[in-house]
């Protein structure tokens, strides 16, 4: 729904980092950013970009924005841990350790790059229903929520909204994601024009 809604007024491009047709499916995480950049240019989609990413995808778009700051004017991250939030893996269920390792590797690269003054909108899911059903995830969610406050240090121009959803915000409340994107686009368009 988000893709279709934003596509009514803006050019949109969706990138599936785990495309089954991808011959390099085991692509090194930071190479995914290079791959996305290459695809955008091959499709004739030239910068500047507004990037949107969910969860691990949110980590990728932050890395893209910091690595290529002249090509990105805005970022929306949806329920993505703040870079550096995953240092203490002891509170995370073992099933998530492979994903956490990948996020941690990219986080280190994000934190090593210079600070940028990029406009960013951050949606953080409360995940109340999820944690009420799966109590073993409460320490992990609490840590992620506590560390989310550090986004404002990393990105001084960010706005943050806590949303009463589970992790897949774009399916549970797509209107919230669409609205965050539209607000960021309007802010960018007003500052340019």
Quick check: 91 pLDDT over 80?
Answer: no
Residue in the structure block whose two tokens are 């995953």? 86
Quick check: 137 pLDDT over 70?
Answer: no
Write down the pTM of the prediction: 0.86
CATH of domain 12-169: 3.40.50.1820
d(CA 102, CA 115): 22
Quick check: 27 pLDDT over 60?
Answer: no
* Sequence spans of domains, the chain: 12-169
Average per-residue pLDDT in the chain? 85
Span 54-73, mean pLDDT? 94
Span 178-193, mean pLDDT? 89
Quick check: 21 pLDDT over 90?
Answer: no
Lowest-confidence segment of 101-105, 129-133, 151-155, 187-191 by average pLDDT:
129-133
pLDDT of residue 20: 47
pLDDT of residue 186: 93
SS3 54: strand
> From the centroid of its chain, how far is CA 156?
16
Tokens of 164: 């009463």
Quick check: 22 pLDDT over 70?
Answer: no
């Amino acid at each position: 729904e988000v893709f279709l809604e934003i596509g009514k007024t803006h050019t949109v491009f969706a990138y599936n980092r785990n495309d089954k047709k991808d011959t390099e499916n085991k692509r090194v995480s930071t190479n995914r950013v290079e791959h996305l950049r290459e695809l955008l240019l091959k499709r004739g989609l030239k910068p500047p970009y507004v990037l949107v990413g969910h969860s691990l995808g949110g980590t990728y778009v932050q890395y893209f924005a910091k690595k290529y700051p002249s090509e990105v004017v805005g970022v929306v991250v949806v329920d993505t841990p703040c870079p550096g939030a995953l240092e203490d893996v002891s509170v995370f269920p073992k099933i998530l350790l492979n994903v956490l390792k990948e996020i941690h590797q990219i986080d280190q690269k994000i934190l090593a790059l210079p600070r940028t003054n990029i406009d960013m909108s951050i949606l953080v899911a409360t995940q109340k229903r999820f944690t009420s059903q799966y109590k073993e995830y409460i320490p992990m969610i609490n840590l992620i929520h506590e560390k989310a406050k550090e986004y404002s240090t990393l990105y001084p121009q960010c706005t943050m909204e806590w949303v009463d959803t589970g992790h897949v915000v774009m399916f549970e409340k797509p209107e919230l994601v669409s609205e965050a994107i539209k607000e960021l686009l309007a802010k960018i368009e007003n500052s340019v024009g």
